[in-house]
Structure 1
Amino acid sequence: MELTEHDNFAETLAREIKQPIDIGSNKDAAKTRIALPPGWHLEEKDDSKLLPTPLRKYAKVRVRDTESFIEYMKRHGSLTDSTVWCLADYTQGRIAFTGIVNDHGEDADKAAWRDHLVHFSPAFSEEWNRWTGFHKKPMSQTDFASFIEDNLRDIASVEGSGLPTGSAMLEMALSFEATQDMRFKSAIRLSNGGVNLSFVQDDDAQTLQKMAVFERFAIGIPVFWSGDPYQVDARLRYRVRDGKLNFWYELVRTDKILEAASSTVIATIKDKTGAPFFFGEPFIS
């Protein structure tokens, strides 16, 4: 603790008169500062928690949805003393908001404590977590078929786009399951952008089975929990190793999809809180 001239004088006086001395107690803050023997150091005691009510508001809370964030800021904040900060990294899949209820205002002579905070990170939907979780992860023929079946309702067909329907993807998935014990023979690219894969039975080299693999498909899923769905394009990939196929998919520009979904949340928070809005990090300790 840094001592002032007043503090040094009090300690010297305490040594002379051999008894504790009250130094600059703040009755409004329920704080007492006393010089104590034997080393005559200063000790500060804070009894503010014994008061009937706190001297001022401060809190650190975390809410789970946009409306709760907005309502908290409106309940406790003001247009002159509150700010909202947005930390967005779409390539890393992160978006978070911090509301500072008692932030510094425009008046340079009126500082604030900046310790009444509300945090909010929009929760991603289960569909978004599932599809992004398996992005670029190779799967065996059987595992890929199971994945497609489990998430079939997410597959979206856009009229006139040439992308496969959910039923076509299901048929493809079932074909994968039917050929799981076969050996890969060849792949021929089709005029419609798909790929024709040929398989032969291990015990009958003359038996051929063919199935069309779609090179591109689309899914329609919400980015955030309870949010609107967005179309996400995907590329289907495969690799042959030791006569067996591994499949995976690559989602196209998920950062742009996240940015589009986040812009809706940002616009809502800006409009309904009315507080000054900043992109960045407030560095609150």
Structure 2
Amino acid sequence: MINLQKEENTMQNNEANLPKQSLDAAIEAARLADPVIGGDDGRQHAFVPDGFTLKDISDPNILPEHISQTVVVDDRDSLTNYVNRFSDGRSILIADYDAGLIRAHLDWHTDNSTEMTRQHASHTATLKLRNSEEYDRWNKMEGEMHSQEEFALFIEENVSDISDPDHSVMLEICRDLEATQDVSFKSGIRLENGDRTFVYEDETKVKGDMIVPTEIGLSIPVYRGEEPVDIRAKFRFRPTASGLQLGFRWHRVEYMRQATFNAMAQQTAENTGRPYYFGRTS
């Protein structure tokens, strides 16, 4: 009697579970009937047996739906050519003076004149500005005082960069500097034209003077690949017991660097037809 009762209870429990089992079976059948699920990014996954886990069955050779590329170019012409090849209505230029770069975001977001849509913004071309060789040579000497021999040698090697005074004047100054290495400088007098005359005396007490300008003008490019610009520098002189010390300091060179950078950004925008903004992206 007890066994009959147990069998009856078991049958009742099984009948009670039939709706759930039927639902589970229906869900599994639906998964197997259409096991492939596509994602918004183009990837596909499929349900497989053994717990119906997802397995990536995407084509490994499929091309991405957008270009993911970061290019660094060495001059402004290369940036212009690259932008002209790949740009469209979304493309913009960002000029960051602090970082010293002009970056083209080729797949930037669309503007609000049409329906604004989110873009991947992962295709960029960047011009990383580098100082010109001429600027680096002069900048290495700037701000320090140098011996007559060292300074004269530097001027002779780089006299072609000097626009004011004339080359012949600077070469004559170099010869005078070399000829007066073993004399004692006594005083300096500023002339009406702004130049400076130094009185010197050799061991035999023979006196002479040497005239040098207080300012020189350079015509050199600030950035590599760009045209020369005019830069001014102030001569510095320091008579000492062991000889004359010479040097120079830039005069408002940072303003010239900023002006050159701004002109480069504007010219790139004109050559590519793309809008430009001064700032940075995060």
Question: TM-score category by the smaller chain?
Answer: 0.7 to 0.9
1:46–1:229 distance in 2 versus 1, CA, 3 Å = farther
Query: Cα distance, 1:43 vs. partner?
Result: 8.4
Measured after TM superposition, the shift of residue 121 of structure 1 is: 2.5
Q: Which of the pair is proportionally richer in helix?
A: 2
**Is 1:69 aligned with 2:70?**
no
How many angstroms does 1:32 deviate by?
4.1
Give the match for residue 94 of structure 2: 85
Aligned partner of residue 50 in structure 1, secondary structure: coil
Q: Work out which of the residue numbers 104, 108, 111 in structure 2 matches 1:103.
A: 108
Question: One-letter code of the match for 2:43?
Answer: A
Identity %: 25
Which residue is equivalent to 2:132?
125
Distance (whole Å) between structure 2 residues aligned to residue 46 and residue 29 of structure 1:
11
Instruction: Check if 1:30 corresponds to 2:43.
Output: yes
TM-score (norm 1): 0.75
Q: Would the alpha carbon gap of residues 32 and 109 (structure 1) be closer, same or farther in structure 2, given more than 3 Å must change?
A: farther
1 CA distance for matches of 2:245 and 2:56?
68
Contact map agreement 1:85 1:97 (CA 8 A) in 2: yes
For the residue of structure 2 that corresponds to 1:168, the secondary structure is helix
Describe the shift of the 1:49–1:186 C-alpha distance in structure 2 as closer, same or farther (beyond 3 A): farther
Q: Secondary structure at the match of 2:131?
A: coil
Determine which structure has more spread, i.e. the larger CA radius of gyration.
2
Query: What does residue 66 of structure 2 align with?
Result: 56
Query: Alignment partner for residue 142 of structure 1, among 149, 152, 158?
Result: 149
Distance in 2 of aligned mates of 1:46 and 1:147: 68
Q: Where do 1:1-285 residues align within 5 Å?
A: 26=39, 29-30=42-43, 32=45, 49-51=60-62, 53-79=63-89, 81-89=90-98, 95-107=100-112, 109-157=116-164, 164-201=165-202, 204-283=203-282
Name stretches of at least 5 consecutive residues in structure 2 with no aligned partner.
Answer: 1-23
Deviations 1:17-64 (A, max 9, x none): 9xxx989553962354889x99x9x9886956532x333211001011
Q: TM-score if structure 2 supplies the norm length?
A: 0.76
1:121 is matched by which residue type in structure 2?
Answer: K
Structure 1 or 2: larger strand share? 1
1:273 is displaced (CA, Å) by 1.9
**Structure 1 gaps, min length 5:** 1-12, 158-163
Per-residue CA deviation, residues 121-144 of structure 1 (Å, 9 max, x unaligned), is 244322122222322122111111
Return the letter of the residue paired with 1:56. H
Q: Over aligned residue pairs, what C-alpha RMSD do you find?
A: 3.1
Q: Distance in 2 between matches of 1:195 and 1:27?
A: 76
Aligned amino acid, residue 240 of structure 2: R
